[in-house]
Homo-oligomer: A and B are copies of this chain.
Amino acid sequence: MRIGVSLEEAQEMLLQKANMVEEGSVSLMGALGRVLSQNIRARENLPAFHKSPLDGYALIAKDVEQAKPSHPVALEVIEEVRAGFVPKQKITPGTTIKVMTGSPLPEGADTVIKYEDVKRTGNSIYLSFPLKPGSNVIYAGEDVKKDEIVALKGTVITPSLVGLLAGLGIAEVPVLRKVRIAIISTGDELIDPAKEPCPGKIYNSSLYNLAALCGELGADPIVMGIVPDEKELISGHIVKSLEAADILITTGGVSVGDFDVVQDALRQAGANMIFWKVSMKPGSPILAAEKDKKIIIGLSGNPAAALVTFDLIAVPVIKKMMGLNRRMPPRVTAVLADNFLKSSPQRRFLRGKLQAINGTHYVKLTGEQGNGILKSMINCNALIDVPAGSGPLCAGQEISAIIVGNISDTFFEMEKEIS
């Protein structure tokens, strides 16, 4: 076991040990948010045939090149094709076929004119302007060429990708199985939020928070519940968790006090320690172990500390197991929007919110930065990386931040949120 590693060492050690879960498949209607286990290649052109993008008349452009309002050109309507049907006739000079949105372009035609842009009398249409050849034609393969790779292995399936796969006739999608993440909270002081308050006890937030984070990542949380600070009990839960799950996250019991029993319980469960303590604040007492090629990450009992280390250390591991191409959170250079007056002898991560104002990125602190302050995690989507040995930080200075949460509201209510 290594004691006292850097954040990057901790990430690297665990990423090397993390194994991708196995492959399966899912029907397209249930594929949203899943991760592709194979590259997706188009079996056919999309569209599969030249077609009309609108309701109109297919024709030969050369036939109407002299058309003008004073001298309309007439074409004979030889067929009317409904969408979903195939034209039976071939277009020859002087003739036209009525087509619908999505109709295959009739043989011989090179152009389509909108329904509204012609005058029809009996079996003839009259055009009062010419069209460039190819106008209003969607060519076969215009969207996707046959054999083109439309999505790479490791991609998360978005709504647009669901649409594209549907368009390509792919109804069953190769995906990786969902990662199963067991979560145990240790601590005699913890009670479930559904219980009545009790002197000296605190409501367990981490179990719920971590389960929700796992759900948001697209994994299946297995909530093992609260376990008292007893080595035997914790060890039993560790063994049971690893039977059901691909990875285990615990909270509490990892620092140096008498009742910090997770390390002992891990040894009793037959796990090998990987590291203990990462040089960062908050969350430094984090530990990692391994049993039967499954990773166990022991987070601090302090809720905010647990969440910061979960984001920075556990999430990349889970993303590798999920098969995601992008595992590491992106880093951004931004302007600090507040003062932070403490010095940082140790490397420190401050919880903040990324905001874009008039094209500049700011990170605003999300309130008090104590280890236990849950409120600081609300709206937190960026962790400011303050190097060890830094003095106080001033509003306006440039900082480096790691994006860990949802940045979808970066462009919302900019003025109000930063004073």
Contact = CB atoms under 8 A, between A and B. Distances in A.
Interface of A: 28-29, 31-33, 44, 46-49, 51, 53-56, 82-86, 100-104, 115-116, 138, 142-144, 150-151, 158-172, 187-190, 192-195, 197, 199-213, 215-216, 223, 229, 252, 255-260, 301-303, 307, 326, 330-334, 356, 358-361, 368, 370-375, 377-380, 403, 405-412
A291 B253 CA distance: 59
9 nearest CB pairs, A to B:
A55-B257, A163-B209, A84-B189, A84-B188, A159-B212, A167-B205, A171-B194, A166-B208, A83-B189
A372 to B, nearest CB: 6
B83 A188 contact: yes
B374 A143 contact: yes
Given A55-B259, A302-B53, A370-B53, A203 B82 contact: no
Given A255-B55, A359-B333, A167 B203 contact: yes
A190 to B, nearest CB: 7
B48 A197 contact: yes
A53 B281 CA distance: 14
B100 A259 contact: yes
B378 A188 contact: no
Contact of A200 (B85, B192, B359): B85
Contacts of A32: 212, 215-216
B257 A159 contact: no
